[in-house]
Amino acid sequence: MTVTGALNSTTGTLYVVATPIGNLDDMSARALKVLADVALIAAEDTRHSIRLLQHFGIETPLAACHEHNEREEGSRFITRLLAGDSVALISDAGTPLISDPGYHLVRQARAAGVPVVPVPGACALIAALSAAGLPSDRFIFEGFLPAKTAGRKARLEQVREEPRTLIFYEAPHRILECLQDMEQVFGPERPALLARELTKTFETLKGLPMAELRAFVEGDSNQQRGECVVLVAGWTAPESDEAVSTEVLRILDLLLKEMPLKRAAALAAEITGVRKNLLYQVALEKQKV
């Protein structure tokens, strides 16, 4: 396999290379080959990455590409790429750009017509989701929540009724406060899972209703250490809420103004998909008021 340059082109390729999130055995053979073959490795923290590269006997030169210099220094990498050198982008752990630097460099490269090739591998959110047993067909990744309670709760409120599985990254020194806020916003019964120290010696995946998960972490200071991902089941409307959602009520109200109760309930059921009998009961209640 040749990794430098695209076919029929003198332009180099920007490889976006995932590295392990703990267990070095998760480094892929392809990632190792790319890192050894490129002219330059753009790394979030060169001191951190040098250890990884030394472990695998890779001697490719490193250059810093972190959130503070990425926009300004991106052009340096683009110049190298346009001159024909291939560059690999790595972050401290996992997949670059996923709560890590790289977005601006990738944008600049694509804008300059440089081929950008992903070399996939470890990613904490995907590893956690793959073993969580929560619905995985649709999910949203919220990254890191704001550090202060007010901001965090405001953000959580925005996704309180999100039906897809929610995934958050959190720092260990904030995990307890974060779970406390989640319990308040999502309620004590919402299924949740803490995925801690994935792929490492003290890997823990604990799935519990939100209040029990908060209590579990509160009662064991070891659970407040290490790296963690929090997953929360999406919102499901309680049966009794089916009839009283604001939108359904609005439709029912409009129809009740125009036609008899029974017909309004039937038509509202057809429009909204809510059971006709429930809407009939709600309409009856409304008439009593």
| Sites of contact with ligand SAM (CB under 6 A) | 21-22, 91, 93-95, 98-100, 123-125, 169-171, 195-200, 227-229
Q: Nearest distance from residue 169's CB to ligand SAM, in Å?
A: 3
Nearest to 267, CA basis, from 256, 180, 235: 256
**Residue with nearest beta carbon to ligand SAM:** 94
Residue (196 or 214) nearer to ligand SAM, CB: 196
The nearest distance, CB 221 to ligand SAM, in angstroms, is 17
Q: Mapping DSSP to helix (H, G, I), strand (E, B) and coil, where does residue 75 land?
A: helix
Query: Which of 182, 269 has the CB closer to ligand SAM?
Result: 182
At a CB cut-off of 8 Å and minimum separation 6, what does 214 contact?
A: 176, 179, 180, 182, 183
* Chain-centroid distance, C-alpha 161: 17
Residue 264: both structure tokens together: 């309004």
Nearer to ligand SAM, 91 or 108 (CB): 91
Cβ proximity to ligand SAM: between 128 and 269 the closer is 128
Q: Which is nearer to ligand SAM, 13 or 95 (CB)?
A: 95
Query: Which amino acid does the sequence have at 90?
Result: I
Which residues make Cβ contacts (< 8 Å) with residue 182, sequence separation at least 6? 156, 190, 192, 210, 214, 230, 232
Complex with ligand SAM: residue 162 or 197, whichever CB lies closer: 197
Q: Which is nearer to ligand SAM, 42 or 268 (CB)?
A: 42
Residues 198/127, Cβ–Cβ less than 8 Å: yes
Tokens coding 289 = 């008021």
Token code pair at residue 187:
């309620």
Instruction: Give me the least distance between CB of 61 and ligand SAM, in Å please.
Output: 23
Query: Which residue's entry shows tokens 């997953």?
Result: 231
Minimum CB distance to ligand SAM, residue 205 (Å):
10
Which residues does residue 181 pair with via DSSP β-bridges, in sequence order? none
Distance of CA 155 to the CA centre of its chain: 14
Could you give the CA distance from residue 61 to residue 235 in angstroms, rounded to a whole number? Answer: 48
Rounded Cα gap, residues 250 and 13, in angstroms: 55
Distance, in Å, from the CA atom of 96 to the CA atom of 123, rounded to the nearest integer, reads 9
- At closest approach, how far in Å is the CB of 49 from ligand SAM? 13
- Cβ 172 to ligand SAM, closest distance in Å? 8
Query: What is the identity of the amino acid at 8?
Result: N
Q: How far is the CB of 168 from ligand SAM (least distance, A)?
A: 8
Q: And the tokens for 58? A: 């890779």
**Pick from 121, 202, 134: nearest CA to 168:** 134
In the complex, the smallest distance separating the C-beta of residue 203 from ligand SAM, rounded to whole angstroms, is: 7
Q: For ligand SAM, which is the closer residue by CB, 11 or 95?
A: 95
